[in-house]
Amino acid sequence: MRSFHFPGRSPVYATKAVAATSHPLASAAALDVMKRGGNAVDATIAAAAVLAVVEHPMTGIGGDCFALLAKPGAAPIALNASGRAPAAATAERYAGFGLKSIPMQSPHAVTVPGAIDGWATLLADHGTMSFADLLAPAIEYARGGFPVAPRVSVDWAGAVGKLKAHAGAAKNLLVDGTRAPRVGERFAMPALARTLEAIARDGRDGFYRGEVAADIVATLNALGGVHTLDDFARQSSSYVTPISVAYKGVELYELPPNNHGIVALILLKMLTRLGKLSDDPAAPERYHVMIEAARLAYAMRDAFVADPAMAEVDVAHMLADATIDNLVARIDRTKRTPDLGPVPRPTGSDTIYLSVIDPNGMAVSFINSLFSDFGSGICAEKSGVTLHNRGQGFVLDPKHPNCIAPGKRPMHTLVPALTLRDGQPDMAFGVMGAAFQPMGHVYVVTNMEDYGLDPQEALDCPRVFFEGEEVQVEDSLAMASRERLAAYGHTVGLRPLPWGGGQIVRFDRTNGCLVAASDARKDGCAIGF
């Protein structure tokens, strides 16, 4: 339990339902839905739609989503709603454009957005309410305006130059086309409100067919994109079998590739062999070993993770005991190893997260994102849809399994997570921050299982991660720990903004209640009833 002498948050305890999101208006929308009889899926969609308005730098209907569902007495369900490349997208074509990689602020970074198809699929298969009911709060905030929250204002202000570069973005996302809204300033998105109304009325077709799709395609084509209306009409989500590993008392479930949740599983298997790394969760020796393990786990991701429908992705090899042993043997607990060597090969071969538990015991772990702040920076002027930059997850090397191809899904950084304990749903959680996310999952699980932290403490603990050759630390990490990391041989830098945010909802089966936590790195909150 935290010391009450210092500022901080306590976990939220409730008996019937809890929701944790990165914005209070979204948490309130989720709880309202469940109070009106909706379930966790209904609440998730309502909250995601609100976040697509009020936390627009991070998320939107022009992005992608993934979900994990845990229903009492049933195996976890996983939905992959990542967007697919246009039918005309080939490495050869982009080479003809003179591209060696895919630029963020270009139409080529925009795959067909998958979020709305994902929402529609979840609602049809597992929800109980209509889009009209669930999107009403988001439509109200988009049409009438909402006061801009502090962290949202910081993210917005940092992207002004990006938004000014595109006329539709400047018109729809900046005050007078020149500046970001300030903290507490009311900001409206009338074009986005009309698009949400079309989805509320026509469902999935309100986005992927008709005027909205035509506006998005025309916007991208005018910038040199190769998208067509058929690409939008064909977009589809898919249910996939989640993958998992055991760690101490829990089983961690992640989405399989093209998602990079497998990185968290590789890391946990490595840490099982390495053992508890320190007595203090914020000790430099713990961070050193975790960074070295993460460098190897992410190298495995970069070598192998791709769309399994269009490339061979050997998940069994990535999680094999021999592979994990090979990786662990390369870690030096006393110093940084500059060159960790090639990854073992098989023989022959930024974002919102929310979590909800409803009165019936269903837990939803859900993530929806534009990838970078405001995605590609491209906003369709008439429909107000800000488009993500997920196409940057592809490479343009035809020999690589993650090379772009027609209808292919890119390597994806969005990762919701679930844990089971003794075969029962235990926790739905996620931690934001692009590539950081699997590392965030490992921090949460080990903070709780190795150090006995409660859900809020597990989120609050200082975070350390690498960007290229630099190890970036949060300002909350003690100076002595930073100096010790440097002594291990790491180049240490201060992270300008903290690593992501996070949300946790958990079953406390001992006391017969629910527990929720929300990361103070964002504006959000956990609430329950």
Residues 6+ apart with CB under 8 A from 456: 2, 8, 9, 10, 11, 504, 517, 518
C-beta of residue 396 within 8 angstroms of C-beta of residue 100: yes
Structure token digits, residue 460: 């609050």
C-alpha distances out from residue 515 to 40, 254, 359, 456, Å: 15, 21, 13, 9
Buried/exposed code over 162-183 (b: 16+ C-beta within 10 A; e: otherwise):
bbbebebbbebbbeeeeebbee
First to last CA, the chain: 22
The single residue listed with the structure tokens 């409660």 is 454
Give the separation between CA 348 and CA 24, rounded to whole angstroms: 52
Cβ-based neighbours of 220, under 8 Å, separated by 6 or more: 107, 110, 227, 378, 387
Looking at 351, 386, 413, 446, which residue is catalytic?
A: 351
CA distance 415 to 435: 10
**Residue 352 in contact with residue 22, Cβ under 8 Å?**
yes
Q: Which spans in 278-336 are helix H? A: 284-304, 315-319, 321-328
Could you tell me where the DSSP H helices lie in 127-274? Answer: 131-144, 150-157, 160-164, 167-173, 190-202, 205-208, 210-222, 229-234, 262-274
Q: Are 120 and 204 in contact (CB under 8 A)?
A: yes
Token representation of residue 477: 């990490």
Q: Which residues pair with 146 in a beta bridge?
A: 187
Q: Based on the residue annotation, tell me whether 121 is a catalytic residue of this protein.
A: no
**What are 179's two structure tokens?**
């500046």
Closest CA to 409 of 319, 314, 305: 305
Q: Which residues are catalytic?
A: 351
